Protein backbone atom coordinates (compact mmCIF):
# COMPACT_ATOMS: atom_id res chain seq x y z
CA UNK A 1 0.00 0.00 0.00
CA UNK A 2 1.34 3.43 -0.90
CA UNK A 3 2.59 5.64 1.91
CA UNK A 4 0.05 8.43 1.32
CA UNK A 5 -2.79 5.91 1.62
CA UNK A 6 -1.58 4.71 5.03
CA UNK A 7 -1.17 8.30 6.15
CA UNK A 8 -4.67 9.16 4.96
CA UNK A 9 -6.25 6.27 6.86
CA UNK A 10 -4.56 7.35 10.08
CA UNK A 11 -5.50 10.95 9.33
CA UNK A 12 -9.20 10.00 9.07
CA UNK A 13 -9.08 8.11 12.36
CA UNK A 14 -7.27 10.85 14.25
CA UNK A 15 -9.64 13.50 12.82
CA UNK A 16 -12.66 11.52 14.10
CA UNK A 17 -13.89 11.29 10.51
CA UNK A 18 -13.76 7.49 10.20
CA UNK A 19 -15.89 5.89 12.90
CA UNK A 20 -16.97 2.38 13.77
CA UNK A 21 -20.27 1.51 15.45
CA UNK A 22 -23.88 1.58 14.25
CA UNK A 23 -24.88 4.21 11.70
CA UNK A 24 -27.36 4.81 8.87
CA UNK A 25 -26.13 6.05 5.48
CA UNK A 26 -27.82 8.61 3.22
CA UNK A 27 -29.20 5.70 1.22
CA UNK A 28 -30.79 4.23 4.34
CA UNK A 29 -28.41 1.34 4.95
CA UNK A 30 -27.41 0.36 8.46
CA UNK A 31 -23.62 0.31 8.46
CA UNK A 32 -20.90 -0.58 11.01
CA UNK A 33 -18.64 2.20 9.78
CA UNK A 34 -19.17 5.82 8.77
CA UNK A 35 -17.09 8.51 7.10
CA UNK A 36 -18.09 12.07 7.98
CA UNK A 37 -15.91 14.62 6.23
CA UNK A 38 -17.85 17.35 8.02
CA UNK A 39 -15.58 16.64 10.98
CA UNK A 40 -12.61 18.18 9.16
CA UNK A 41 -12.98 21.58 10.79
CA UNK A 42 -9.55 23.08 11.47
CA UNK A 43 -7.25 24.87 9.08
CA UNK A 44 -4.57 22.24 9.60
CA UNK A 45 -6.99 19.38 8.84
CA UNK A 46 -8.32 21.06 5.70
CA UNK A 47 -4.81 21.81 4.51
CA UNK A 48 -3.80 18.16 4.87
CA UNK A 49 -7.07 16.94 3.34
CA UNK A 50 -6.51 19.09 0.27
CA UNK A 51 -3.03 17.63 -0.14
CA UNK A 52 -4.37 14.06 -0.07
CA UNK A 53 -6.99 14.90 -2.70
CA UNK A 54 -4.43 16.75 -4.83
CA UNK A 55 -2.08 13.75 -4.66
CA UNK A 56 -4.83 11.37 -5.77
CA UNK A 57 -5.98 13.69 -8.55
CA UNK A 58 -2.43 14.05 -9.83
CA UNK A 59 -2.04 10.27 -9.82
CA UNK A 60 -5.28 9.48 -11.65
CA UNK A 61 -5.88 12.56 -13.84
CA UNK A 62 -2.61 14.43 -14.07
CA UNK A 63 -2.74 18.24 -13.98
CA UNK A 64 -4.48 19.08 -17.27
CA UNK A 65 -7.64 20.20 -15.47
CA UNK A 66 -9.57 23.47 -15.68
CA UNK A 67 -12.18 23.18 -12.93
CA UNK A 68 -12.80 21.20 -9.76
CA UNK A 69 -16.53 20.75 -9.20
CA UNK A 70 -17.87 20.11 -5.69
CA UNK A 71 -21.50 19.03 -5.21
CA UNK A 72 -23.17 21.12 -2.50
CA UNK A 73 -22.62 21.24 0.35
CA UNK A 74 -19.66 19.15 1.49
CA UNK A 75 -18.04 19.30 -1.94
CA UNK A 76 -17.58 23.08 -1.69
CA UNK A 77 -14.78 23.17 0.94
CA UNK A 78 -13.26 20.05 -0.61
CA UNK A 79 -12.81 21.75 -3.99
CA UNK A 80 -11.43 24.93 -2.41
CA UNK A 81 -8.76 23.22 -0.31
CA UNK A 82 -7.88 20.84 -3.16
CA UNK A 83 -7.47 23.73 -5.62
CA UNK A 84 -5.12 25.44 -3.17
CA UNK A 85 -3.11 22.24 -2.70
CA UNK A 86 -2.85 21.60 -6.44
CA UNK A 87 -1.40 25.08 -6.84
CA UNK A 88 1.00 24.55 -3.94
CA UNK A 89 2.14 21.00 -4.77
CA UNK A 90 1.99 20.94 -8.57
CA UNK A 91 1.95 24.61 -9.61
CA UNK A 92 -1.42 23.97 -11.26
CA UNK A 93 -3.89 26.87 -11.20
CA UNK A 94 -7.34 25.27 -11.32
CA UNK A 95 -10.66 26.95 -10.58
CA UNK A 96 -13.46 25.66 -8.40
CA UNK A 97 -17.20 25.51 -8.99
CA UNK A 98 -20.22 24.19 -7.10
CA UNK A 99 -23.96 23.92 -7.54
CA UNK A 100 -26.56 25.67 -5.46
CA UNK A 101 -29.40 23.71 -3.91
CA UNK A 102 -31.82 26.26 -5.38
CA UNK A 103 -31.50 28.40 -8.50
CA UNK A 104 -30.54 31.99 -7.62
CA UNK A 105 -32.82 34.52 -9.32
CA UNK A 106 -30.90 37.71 -8.42
CA UNK A 107 -27.35 39.02 -8.72
CA UNK A 108 -25.41 36.78 -11.10
CA UNK A 109 -28.22 34.21 -10.86
CA UNK A 110 -28.08 30.60 -11.95
CA UNK A 111 -27.56 27.20 -10.40
CA UNK A 112 -23.75 27.38 -10.19
CA UNK A 113 -21.34 29.42 -8.09
CA UNK A 114 -17.64 29.93 -8.61
CA UNK A 115 -15.93 29.32 -11.95
CA UNK A 116 -17.89 29.41 -15.19
CA UNK A 117 -18.02 26.10 -17.02
CA UNK A 118 -17.98 26.34 -20.82
CA UNK A 119 -17.80 23.98 -23.77
CA UNK A 120 -14.51 22.12 -23.61
CA UNK A 121 -13.88 22.76 -19.90
CA UNK A 122 -11.96 19.86 -18.35
CA UNK A 123 -13.69 19.08 -15.05
CA UNK A 124 -12.96 16.74 -12.14
CA UNK A 125 -15.78 16.19 -9.63
CA UNK A 126 -14.63 16.14 -6.00
CA UNK A 127 -16.81 14.29 -3.46
CA UNK A 128 -16.40 12.95 0.05
CA UNK A 129 -17.62 9.34 -0.18
CA UNK A 130 -19.93 7.35 -2.40
CA UNK A 131 -22.44 4.79 -1.16
CA UNK A 132 -25.21 4.55 -3.75
CA UNK A 133 -24.07 7.57 -5.78
CA UNK A 134 -27.15 9.64 -4.93
CA UNK A 135 -25.47 13.05 -5.12
CA UNK A 136 -23.91 12.29 -8.51
CA UNK A 137 -27.31 11.44 -9.97
CA UNK A 138 -28.39 14.89 -8.76
CA UNK A 139 -25.38 16.89 -9.96
CA UNK A 140 -24.16 15.13 -13.13
CA UNK A 141 -27.18 16.35 -15.14
CA UNK A 142 -26.47 19.91 -13.93
CA UNK A 143 -22.92 19.66 -15.26
CA UNK A 144 -23.99 18.05 -18.52
CA UNK A 145 -26.49 20.88 -19.05
CA UNK A 146 -23.67 23.46 -19.12
CA UNK A 147 -22.52 22.36 -22.55
CA UNK A 148 -20.08 19.97 -24.14
CA UNK A 149 -17.77 19.76 -21.16
CA UNK A 150 -15.11 17.12 -20.60
CA UNK A 151 -15.78 15.41 -17.27
CA UNK A 152 -12.44 13.73 -16.62
CA UNK A 153 -13.83 11.75 -13.70
CA UNK A 154 -14.85 11.72 -10.05
CA UNK A 155 -12.48 11.60 -7.08
CA UNK A 156 -13.73 10.51 -3.64
CA UNK A 157 -11.94 10.03 -0.35
CA UNK A 158 -13.13 6.48 0.37
CA UNK A 159 -14.58 3.86 -1.96
CA UNK A 160 -17.12 2.02 0.20
CA UNK A 161 -17.12 -0.81 -2.36
CA UNK A 162 -20.81 -1.55 -2.15
CA UNK A 163 -23.83 -1.93 -4.37
CA UNK A 164 -25.51 1.05 -5.93
CA UNK A 165 -29.10 0.71 -7.09
CA UNK A 166 -28.39 -2.77 -8.51
CA UNK A 167 -25.95 -5.52 -7.58
CA UNK A 168 -23.23 -3.61 -9.41
CA UNK A 169 -21.01 -1.13 -7.65
CA UNK A 170 -22.20 2.46 -7.48
CA UNK A 171 -19.10 3.40 -9.46
CA UNK A 172 -20.00 0.98 -12.28
CA UNK A 173 -23.53 2.40 -12.39
CA UNK A 174 -22.23 5.97 -12.55
CA UNK A 175 -19.94 4.91 -15.40
CA UNK A 176 -22.88 3.40 -17.30
CA UNK A 177 -25.26 6.29 -16.63
CA UNK A 178 -22.95 9.25 -17.25
CA UNK A 179 -19.68 7.82 -18.62
CA UNK A 180 -17.88 9.11 -15.52
CA UNK A 181 -15.04 7.05 -13.99
CA UNK A 182 -14.56 7.10 -10.23
CA UNK A 183 -11.28 6.96 -8.32
CA UNK A 184 -10.61 7.14 -4.58
CA UNK A 185 -7.82 8.06 -2.22
CA UNK A 186 -8.36 4.71 -0.49
CA UNK A 187 -10.82 1.81 -0.66
CA UNK A 188 -12.60 0.36 2.33
CA UNK A 189 -10.73 -2.88 1.71
CA UNK A 190 -7.46 -1.00 2.17
CA UNK A 191 -8.83 0.63 5.33
CA UNK A 192 -9.74 -2.74 6.86
CA UNK A 193 -6.44 -4.28 5.80
CA UNK A 194 -4.43 -1.47 7.38
CA UNK A 195 -6.43 -0.97 10.59
CA UNK A 196 -7.20 -4.59 11.50
CA UNK A 197 -5.64 -5.17 14.94
CA UNK A 198 -3.43 -2.10 14.46
CA UNK A 199 -3.16 0.29 17.40
CA UNK A 200 -3.62 3.99 16.60
CA UNK A 201 -3.07 6.38 19.51
CA UNK A 202 -3.51 3.58 22.00
CA UNK A 203 -6.70 2.13 20.50
CA UNK A 204 -7.48 -0.72 18.12
CA UNK A 205 -10.35 0.44 15.91
CA UNK A 206 -10.94 -2.77 13.97
CA UNK A 207 -10.79 -5.85 16.17
CA UNK A 208 -12.34 -9.25 15.42
CA UNK A 209 -15.84 -8.06 16.43
CA UNK A 210 -15.76 -4.96 14.24
CA UNK A 211 -14.25 -6.90 11.33
CA UNK A 212 -16.99 -9.50 11.64
CA UNK A 213 -19.64 -6.75 11.45
CA UNK A 214 -17.95 -5.23 8.39
CA UNK A 215 -17.73 -8.64 6.71
CA UNK A 216 -21.45 -9.21 7.37
CA UNK A 217 -22.27 -5.80 5.91
CA UNK A 218 -20.43 -6.62 2.70
CA UNK A 219 -22.17 -9.97 2.48
CA UNK A 220 -25.40 -7.97 2.23
CA UNK A 221 -24.35 -4.79 0.44
CA UNK A 222 -21.00 -5.50 -1.16
CA UNK A 223 -20.86 -4.99 -4.92
CA UNK A 224 -21.14 -8.34 -6.66
CA UNK A 225 -19.07 -7.07 -9.57
CA UNK A 226 -17.45 -3.87 -10.79
Candidate list 3, 101, 106, 203, residue with the active-site label: 106
104: annotated active-site residue: yes
Distance of CA 168 to the CA centre of its chain: 19
Is 106 among the residues known to form the active site? yes
Of the candidates 59, 104, 165, 209, the residue annotated as catalytic is 104
Residues in the chain: 226
Q: What are phi and psi of 211, to 5 degrees?
A: -65, -40
Long-range contact pairs involving 79-85 (C-beta distance under 8 Å, separation at least 24): 79/114, 79/126, 80/50, 81/46, 81/47, 81/49, 81/50, 81/53, 82/50, 82/53, 82/54, 82/57, 82/126, 83/50, 84/47, 84/50, 85/47, 85/50, 85/51, 85/53, 85/54
The residues that are catalytic are: 104, 106
Amino acid sequence: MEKYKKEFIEFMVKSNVLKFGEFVTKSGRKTPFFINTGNYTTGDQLNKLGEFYATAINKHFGNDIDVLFGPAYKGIPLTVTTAISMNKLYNTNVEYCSNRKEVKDHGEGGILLGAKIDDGSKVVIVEDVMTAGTSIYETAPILKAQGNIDIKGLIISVDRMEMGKTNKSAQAEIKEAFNISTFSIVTMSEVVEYLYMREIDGKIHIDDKVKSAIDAYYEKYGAKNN
